[in-house]
Amino acid sequence: MMVYKFAIDEVNTKLNILREEFQAIHDYNPIEHISSRVKSPESIFKKVQRKNCELSLASIKENIHDIAGIRITCSFISDIYKVSEMIKSQIDISVIECKDYIKNPKPNGYQSLHLIIMIPVFMSDRVEHTYVEVQIRTIAMDFWASLEHKIYYKYNKVIPERLTRELKEAALSAMELDRKMERLHEEVNVIKSTEENREQQRNLQIHGKIAEMVGLLN
């Protein structure tokens, strides 16, 4: 279990470096929030039973890929793919699997981008190559998924049909909200870029006039 905690620490360190670098270069932070967890032994045991795996440490390590989990929350859908590409570009990270539930939502409306990655954890006497599941989603997606999860377990995993239908409608509303906010974000960026270009042009004109006046004085 300690190795999985260290794997989370490794990924969190990388994410914090990427977040600070992105902020410094682009004056913008694509990551709103990062949370992590290591599955409890009880949860691992239940998943082993569901997957019908052999109950051994070697089998669990090879077949259960979400013991260590990290969730990244972003403001916009485009940020999800930016963060995903930044993770994939790390030379010591291997991407084992990528599931895009944003382009292809689950039947219940769930949306998120899931990566299964493998990262080396350097122990005192060995290197442990460890699986980590990374979920990347927007604030709206995370809000919906958190509430759906609570309802799912409140009804002992058997949700009444009416609630299932309303949850699906809520997921569609969250999707529309994300798309609307993305459009507004892009529009603001265009306005900002236009204003910056105008400011640069004004500064060039001012510098040109100053240079002209200095030339006349000389």
Active site residue 176: no
pTM listed for this prediction: 0.82
Q: How many Å apart are CA 113 and CA 93, to the nearest integer?
A: 17
Domain assignment of residue 65, given as a range: 2-184
Tens-place pLDDT, residues 97-127: 999 999 999 988 999 999 999 999 999 999 9
Question: Which of these is catalytic: 54, 133, 161, 186?
Answer: 133
Q: So what's the pLDDT on residue 158?
A: 76
Q: Are 132 and 7 in contact, with CB atoms under 8 Å apart?
A: yes
| pLDDT value at residue 217 | 66
- What CATH number is attached to the domain comprising 47? 3.30.460.10
Residue 206 lies in a domain: no
Tally the domains of the chain.
1
Any domain includes 70:
yes
Residue 175 lies in a domain: yes
Give the per-residue pLDDT at 200.
72
Give the residue ranges of the chain where pLDDT is below 50: none
Task: Tell me the CB-side half-sphere exposure of residue 194, using CA atoms within 13 A.
Answer: 6
Closest CA to 44 of 68, 74, 70: 68
pLDDT of residue 150: 85
